[in-house]
């Protein structure tokens, strides 16, 4: 068995679309979107393709997989939470991205605060959002939501950033 510096199963750059490679060169903050619904329970997904739009009301726009468990729960409940992840949250991000095993379920480890929008990691800034609409864009679903609640913490630490397929500080 050998240990690789890079993912041996990753698609080689020359086989990726130029658009995907361009997107990968744009550093993006890593967030965790969570929702809870009666039929689907608590669900979550790591999302780094998002914008926060100031205004009355403020809005969140994000790209999610329309076949994700998160989308099913958010669509049913009409609400979701967006949590900002810190540099120390790499394993959490990988777990919710499906890149790391989650024995006992996604929410089995760590400390979680249950909110009316979905579970949020304790000690992280977050926004509670009400779903305003969604439409297909490329291979993703563009989700738009109104921000109804914001919790900002002074001790967020360095944000977790994703660039070229890797996390960086």
| 7-61-64 Cα angle (round to 5) | 40
Q: Which CATH code fits 19-168? A: 2.30.110.10
Domain ranges of the chain: 19-168
pLDDT in tens, 68-114: 999 999 999 999 999 999 999 999 999 999 999 999 999 999 999 99
Please choose, from the candidates 161, 145, 138, 152, the residue with its C-alpha nearest in 3D space to the C-alpha of residue 34: 145
DSSP state of 15: G
User: What are the DSSP calls for 82-141, one per residue?
Assistant: EEEPBGGGHHHHHHHTTSS--TT-TTSSS-EE--SS--EETTS-EEEEEEEEEEEETTEE
Please choose, from the candidates 34, 139, 29, the residue with its C-alpha nearest in 3D space to the C-alpha of residue 89: 29
- Which pLDDT value is given to residue 3? 62
DSSP state of 70: H
pLDDT in tens, 13-51: 788 788 888 888 889 999 999 999 999 999 999 999 999
- Which pLDDT value is given to residue 52? 97
The answer, yes or no, to whether residue 139 has pLDDT greater than 60, is yes
The answer, yes or no, to whether residue 1 has pLDDT greater than 70, is no
């Amino acid at each position: 068995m050998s240990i690789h510096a890079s993912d041996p199963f990753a698609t080689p750059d020359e086989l990726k679309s130029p658009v995907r490679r361009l997107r990968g060169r744009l550093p993006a903050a890593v967030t965790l979107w969570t929702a809870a619904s009666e039929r689907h329970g608590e669900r979550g997904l790591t999302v780094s393709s998002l914008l926060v739009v100031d205004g009355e009301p403020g809005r969140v726009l994000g790209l999610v997989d329309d076949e994700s468990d998160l989308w099913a729960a958010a669509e049913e409940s009409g609400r979701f939470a967006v949590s900002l992840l810190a540099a120390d949250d790499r394993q959490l991000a990988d777990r919710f991205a499906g890149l790391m095993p989650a024995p006992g379920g996604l929410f089995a480890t760590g400390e979680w605060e249950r909110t009316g929008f979905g579970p949020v990691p304790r000690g992280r800034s977050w926004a509670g959002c009400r779903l305003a609409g969604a439409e297909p864009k490329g291979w993703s679903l563009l989700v738009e939501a109104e921000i109804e609640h914001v919790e900002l913490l002074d001790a967020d630490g360095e944000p977790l950033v994703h660039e070229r397929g890797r996390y960086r500080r």
